[in-house]
Amino acid sequence: MSHTLTDQQHDEARQGEAFAPFAEDPNQYDRHFFIESYGCQMNFADSEIVASILQEQGFGATRQLEKADLILLNTCSIREKAEQTVRKRLTEFKKLKKVRKGLLVGVLGCMAERLKSKFLEEEKLVDLVVGPDAYRTLPQLIEEAAGGQKAVNVLLSREETYADIAPVRLDSNGVSAFVSIMRGCNNMCAFCVVPFTRGRERSRDHRSILAECQDLFDNGYREVTLLGQNVDSYHFSPEADQAPVNFAQLLEQVARISPLLRVRFSTSHPKDITDEVLTTMAKYTNICRYIHLPVQSGSTRILQLMNRTYTREWYKAKVDRIREILPDCGISSDIIAGFCTETEEDHRDTLDIMRYSGYDYGYMFFYSERPGTLAHRRYVDDIPLDIKKQRLQEIVAVQYELSLTSNQQDVGKEFEVLIEGDSKRDEQDWMGRTSQNKVVVFPKSKAGLKAGDYVRIKIDQCTKATLMGRLVE
């Protein structure tokens, strides 16, 4: 992904990888698929849906390209760099197709609609193109592509949620899982292509969500992350004689599955995160004290151009409310440098709101104009690249300072940590997370511990990226 992340994400986070091929499936299959996922957590969750559909058709997942009969790229259109990366990979696969007769290559996800003609006809990079709402048609499209036809389905749906498909949890740590609760987005943020690539917002049946979360818990998972482009606007209406379910109610129902099941969610639009959600979080200790609250810009003028529907003062008041109801809540954010017409004063407003909010970490990038968005149609991308990069570096520097300060405040404190697995830097250490989503590394000083266990850790030291501590006996 083209985000500039804090080192906290690079060091230990499972979300920061450019791609994540699935693990070799233990079952024997005549045909195999290889999949790479780019971009947001929703794409990774979608790849698990795709894996389920393909397994039903006799395809096993593989990490090894040389074993694959089908290569799929689940794509992201948020940033230009992500698209460049995908195009580079497709060029590599095109060379592979010349020596591997019968190999099929397909593009899934957000790039499908916008670039289908280029990929299929002009550059002949792929055999099939499938949009985010058309994964059920993959078996038919694969058959068409194998017969020499150009297979395409990029139709968007007003109903599709894949609620009845059990995702295949391949390449999983067996502890944490993503659960998609809704699809699409109704927020027409000027910079964002998601409403055009993923369609309108629709919520999944809450009963299917609860069943999936219960099944995960029964199979040893100890953390679920409820996913959506804007989870706070979740709203499912069952039969006529039943009351609708909002996000706060869904959150509570998932939390009540077991106190041993941690619940996270992402992403929140500031305008939709309600007091009901915050008080529900405060009520249940297993709902993690962490909110991703994208600000995008600290300037009211720029926020209005972005169509974000709030002012800097309103956003700061929302942060105050979170701190009031959840004093120990971690907050992270998305920040864009160099949006159209941004002045130095606008930029300083962003640095100011970062300091006011005290973000634990952030996803930071400079503005990249995306074809088809409102900004592309309405505004001129008039900030020079060197200024965008300079402002981004200033934003990154402030976030590093905030991350270090936040972590330093945790030194000497004790936290309940869910063990996720070995530390990536040293197999003699465990890696886990606090409720606030902070990475914790600690020595394997006690026999019998395993991934999925909860432990009490005292923090002894930190970097801006990671907390380091020891087991409290």
Ordered mean pLDDT values, 10 residues apiece, the chain (473 residues): 35 34 56 90 89 92 91 84 85 90 91 78 84 94 92 89 86 90 93 88 95 96 95 89 92 98 94 96 98 98 97 98 98 98 98 98 94 94 98 98 98 98 94 98 94 98 97 91
CB 308 within 8 A of CB 189: yes
- Look at residue 25 in the predicted model and tell me its pLDDT: 45
Q: Which CATH class is domain 4-153?
A: alpha beta
Q: How far is CA 206 from the centre of its chain?
A: 21
Residues with Cβ within 8 Å of 67's Cβ and at least 6 positions away in sequence, in order, are 32, 34
CATH of 176-408, one of 3.30.465.10, 3.80.30.20, 3.40.190.10, 3.90.1150.10: 3.80.30.20
Q: How far is it, in rounded angstroms, from Cα 325 to Cα 322? A: 5
Give the integer Cα–Cα distance in Å for 241 and 223: 33
Domain boundaries, given as residue ranges, for the chain: 4-153, 176-408, 414-471
**What is d(CA 54, CA 177) in angstroms, rounded to the nearest whole number?**
20
How many helices (H) and strands (E) are present in the chain, helices listed first? 14, 22
Sheet with 223-227: strands ordered across: 176-180, 223-227, 262-266
- The whole-number pLDDT of residue 27 equals 54
Residue type, 57: Q
pLDDT confidence of residue 168:
87
The phi, psi pair for 179, rounded to 5°, reads: -130, 115
Q: Which of 123, 54, 50 is nearest to 93 (CA)?
A: 123
pLDDT score for 122: 66
Q: What is the CA radius of gyration of the chain?
A: 22
Residue 320 token pair: 């105050």
- What is 414-471's CATH superfamily? Nucleic acid-binding proteins (2.40.50.140)
Q: What is the pLDDT of residue 16?
A: 31
Per the CB < 8 A criterion, the answer to whether 11 and 424 are in contact is yes
DSSP three-state, residue 354: helix
pLDDT value of residue 195: 86
Angstrom distances, CA of residue 423 to CA of 377, 387, 462: 46, 37, 15
The enclosing H or E element of 445 equals: none
The interaxial angle of helices 247-255 and 275-283, nearest 10 deg, is: 10
Question: Beta strand 235-236 with 245-246: parallel, antiparallel or unpaired?
Answer: antiparallel
Which among 210, 215, 258, 259 is positioned nearest to 234, based on CA atoms? 210
> What is the length of the chain?
473
The 8-class DSSP code of residue 306 comes to T
Tell me how far apart the alpha carbons of residues 463 and 403 are, in angstroms, rounded to a whole number. Answer: 9
